[in-house]
Each structure stands twice: as structure tokens, then as C-alpha cells.
Homo-oligomer: A and B are copies of this chain.
């Protein structure tokens, strides 16, 4: 293991955990939300705007970056941090998830997966070794093993086959990663919604040994209660001294419920995607700015928000930008949503420190349930 990556737990409150990840490129206070910079950009945001929301780490998508601009090219250009002007930590996924969801003509074997690019139809392959190689070329700080992620609901046999394959790929990923100084490799727990398979997956990963443990195969179509049940079953099986990362999750309510179940890290495109579609996350819950009720509303989104964008523009103006499909609307709402997510995570961190996570959680949910300001007459 590298001496330069570490995780320290400072406090727990129920099963919620307050910690800090240390990497050579900076520290990450946990629980942490990672904005997604799919194609080497968090959509509609300058990197310093992303940092200013409080984000300490980004996620980069191996699948997108290997196709465009290409990981060898990114390496020649100095790595992903240099390329996108984000000097802070970056976590990369393995590429496997997007191969399954975006690529064409996939062919999966024990060796890996061969697929055609959704952009130009060119043929590529991904194996545990190649995925690690690409992530190292990108200069990732936290790498993911290649896994096979399947949609739920699924047959138990299919779930088990994919889980076992993922375990064998975990072993090969670890060998390929070797001992890359200053970086970390995370294993990924699979096993769908079957407790026994999840437990076997976790046990297998523990015996290989990783610097962090990701929970894959959730947020793939199942109800929230299924996700929470799987977390209840699986998180206690993960080593307490390593970070727990729930991949591809989620909405604010998912984050609250998952932190309560011992998750330390999250990533999701939802806040920026929702922003581009005219939705703003706030202490009032989600506000649909396309709604005509905002058309003549001179009030800002939330005049008590610490975020200037929530105070300086009227709801009427945001409604106008969304209706006219102006880029500025996507810019402002992406910023507002990422800032809200970071404020939520910061609130959870303070609450865990103070032993008030449950109160924080129920107060936050009560605010969402109360809903938006009454419409103006």
C-alpha cells in the first residue's frame, strides 16, 4: 500500500462516520460528495467555481476519457489535473459501468470486454489491467477496479456470475495496480440485492485487501428502500478503517440515508444534470423553475442562502433563462445545485461531530417536506 494515501475516522454518530482522506494532492473531508467531470469538465462550470462550492475531489469517467481525448493523449499533456486545471484530487471509475450503459456491441469474456465507441463506432477493449493502465495514464489519485455491474431486478444466477467475475477482476486489478505510490485502488462490492452474495463479495475483497471499498450495482433502477436495505446488510461487512464509497448516488435524500448507514463518499451527475433541466435544489426541496408560478416572482431562490447565486437573481429571471434555454441558466443552476450538495455534506459532517446527525437529518427532511415558499399572489 502507498504511504501517501490514508483515511482517518475521527467520530461516529450511530453508523454515520466523520473522517478525512489524505492524498498527496489534498485532503477530503468525509462524508464527501464528488461532482462528476465526465469529459474532463464538470458541465457548465469553471474548475474554480466547482472548488468554490466546497468540492475537494472530482470524479472523472474513464470510458469517456479513453475515447475522447484518449488516455495516452491526456498523459502526454500532463495528466487529467493539468489538462482540466483541477489541481485537487481526482477519483476515476473503471469504465465498466459506461461500457455496459453506453457502448455498442459489447462482448464480455473472462479476459475483459470488447466494445464499440458510441461516438464513432471504433473498437476498444477494457480489461482489469487495461483499466488500471488508463487510470494511471489519467494520473488518477483514487482508482477503481474493473467490475461487471448489472441492472436490477436480475436473476440470482446472473448476479452471482457477475459478482464472481468482479472478484476475479478485483484480484487482477490489484496485481496491475501493484504499489502505485500516492494513489489508492478501491475494490467494488457487487451482488445485487442478494444479501448472501454481497457478503461473499465483501469477504472476497477484504481478503484481497484494498485501500477503500466501493459499493457498486446500486442506483441502477431499484427502489430507495432496496438500496437502503442492501446498505444495512453490506456496510457492516466492510472494513471500518477504510472509506466506503457508494457509486453513482444520488439525490439529497439518498445521501442523508446512506451517510446514516455508514457511507463516506458519493458521486452523481444528478445535481448538474438537474440544473441543466431547470431544477434547483434548496432547503425547500427541489424547485422546478420551468413552472409558471415563478414567471413574475421577484424573490430570489433563497435569500438566506450563503450562495450568492441564490440571492442575486430573481426566480423570474431564472425562469426566463430556463424557458429561453439560455446557457447562463444551466451555468447558474448547476452551480446552485453543486453548492447545495456541498452545503448538505458540510452540514452532515458538523452534525456527526456534534453527535446530532439524526436531528440534522430529520430537520433537513422537514424543510424539504415543508416545500417551497408560498407563491406570490
Q: Which residues of A contact B (CB under 8 A)?
A: 39-41, 43-46, 68-69, 73, 76-78, 83-85, 295-296, 298, 312-314, 316-317, 319-321, 323-324, 326-328, 330-332
Contacts and interface: CB of A to CB of B under 8 A. Distances in A.
B44 A316 contact: no
Contacts of A68: 320, 323-324
Contacts of A321: 41
B324 A44 contact: no
Contacts of A41: 321, 326, 328
B76 A317 contact: no
A296 B77 contact: yes
Contacts of A323: 68-69
Given A43-B327, A46-B328, A77-B316, 7 more contacts: A39-B320, A44-B331, A45-B328, A73-B296, A76-B296, A77-B298, A78-B298
Nearest to A335: B46
17 contacts: A40-B320, A41-B321, A41-B328, A44-B327, A44-B331, A73-B296, A73-B316, A76-B296, A76-B298, A77-B316, A77-B317, A83-B314, A85-B312, A85-B317, A327-B327, A327-B330, A331-B331
A297 to B, nearest CB: 9
A76 B297 CA distance: 10
Nearest to A324: B39
B69 A295 contact: yes
B39 A69 contact: no
A316 B313 CA distance: 35
Work out how many copies of this chain go into the complex. Answer: 2
A317 B84 contact: yes
B317 A39 contact: no
B320 A69 contact: yes
A136 to B, nearest CB: 19
A323 B67 CA distance: 12
A320 to B, nearest CB: 5
A323 to B, nearest CB: 7
A45 B69 CA distance: 26
Given A68-B320, A85-B312, A331 B46 contact: yes
A293 to B, nearest CB: 14
A85 to B, nearest CB: 5
Contacts of A73: 295-296, 316
Given A73-B296, A298-B78, A328-B44, A83 B39 contact: no
Contacts of A331: 44, 46, 327, 331
Given A77-B316, A313-B85, A317-B84, A39 B296 contact: no
A50 to B, nearest CB: 10
A73 B321 CA distance: 14
